[in-house]
């Protein structure tokens, strides 16, 4: 009976080691997944920030272009009145 216990001890130790390695592998895979998720979240935050900056820049440039276009139309109308010799009506 004592010999049976001594024979079972190495098997139990090997089984425990295999279980420990399995749990370590599961932990390692979860840790790698967490790192990937953090990296993905960081990249998404950077893309969102860049998108907001680009949107603000586009809107600012569109506003400036609109103001420039309005000034150009006013100058063109003014020049056409000067070229024709007419005076614009006050409305």
Q: Which residues contact 87 (CB under 8 A, 6 or more apart)?
A: 81
Question: How would you write the pLDDT of the chain (91 residues) with one tens digit per residue?
Answer: 677 777 888 888 999 999 999 999 999 999 999 999 999 999 999 999 999 999 999 999 999 999 999 999 998 988 888 888 776 676 5
**pTM for this predicted structure:** 0.58
CB 81 within 8 Å of CB 75: no
């Amino acid at each position: 009976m004592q010999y049976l216990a001594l024979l079972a001890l190495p098997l139990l130790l090997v089984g425990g080691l295999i279980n420990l390695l399995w749990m370590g592998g599961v932990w390692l895979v979860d840790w790698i997944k967490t790192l990937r998720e953090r990296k993905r979240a960081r990249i998404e935050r950077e893309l969102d920030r860049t998108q907001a900056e680009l949107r603000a820049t586009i809107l600012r440039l569109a506003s400036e272009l609109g103001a420039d276009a309005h000034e150009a139309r006013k100058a063109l109308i003014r020049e056409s009145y000067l070229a024709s010799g007419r005076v614009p009506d006050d409305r």
